[in-house]
Amino acid sequence: MSLLSRLFRSRRDPRDALRPLWHRVVEIAREPRWYAEAGVADTIDGRFDMIAAVLALVLLRMEKEPAMAQESVYLTELFVDDMDGQLREIGIGDIVVGKHIGRLMSMMGGRLGAYRDGLARGGDALAEAAGRNVRMQDGRAPDDLADGLAALAAVLTQTDAQALLAGAIVR
């Protein structure tokens, strides 16, 4: 291999291995039952809230295994890339898209803390966290949503690391 071909060869994006997991996060967040049965608002904001909730649960699962630290960073980067594209698609300009991404990341950090605490405390704590972080249909309490999130967290806990990284979350 010549020096030039070694210098200019394309390197594989390390995030590519996490794309199936990212797509599975989005797929789970878009399941109709969250909206029809659990009462999440079927709006752009409600769908974002569900993606953030599912992603938070996956990241919390990954956090339990220090060996997955780098992969959790890559998964978060895929989230940021996707949200950046979505913001641009709805007309947010280059000048302010960075500020929006900064706010989204701040919200994501807050949700991680809220769901971590809610899962650890049990009882109504997860419903309280979901109620603060997910837009619900008018008049709907977040109890069914919290039950669904707790069930998803249990599935994630039972999913081994390699299956999780491959996006093989079986519900």
Break the chain into its structural domains and give their ranges: 15-165
- Long-range contact pairs involving 10-19 (C-beta distance under 8 Å, separation at least 24): 14/70, 14/74, 15/74, 15/75, 15/77, 15/78, 17/71, 17/74, 17/165, 18/71, 18/74, 18/75, 18/78, 18/165, 19/78
- Nearest residue to 40 via CA among 120, 143, 126, 124: 143
Q: Which 3 state secondary structure label does DSSP give 40?
A: strand
Angle between helices 44-63 and 94-121 (to 10 degrees): 60
**CA dist 22 → 15, 62, 79, 118 (Å):** 10, 13, 7, 23
Q: What is the structure's pLDDT at 13?
A: 87
* Residues 46/35, Cβ–Cβ less than 8 Å: yes
Residue 12 corresponds to which tokens in the numbers above?
Answer: 């594989």
Between vectors from CA 128 to CA 122 and to CA 134, what angle results, nearest 5°? 120
Residue 5 vs residue 18, higher pLDDT? 18
71-96 pLDDT, tens per residue? 999 999 999 888 766 666 666 666 66
Q: How confident is the model at residue 104 (pLDDT cuts 50, 70, 90)?
A: confident
Residue 12 vs residue 156, higher pLDDT? 156
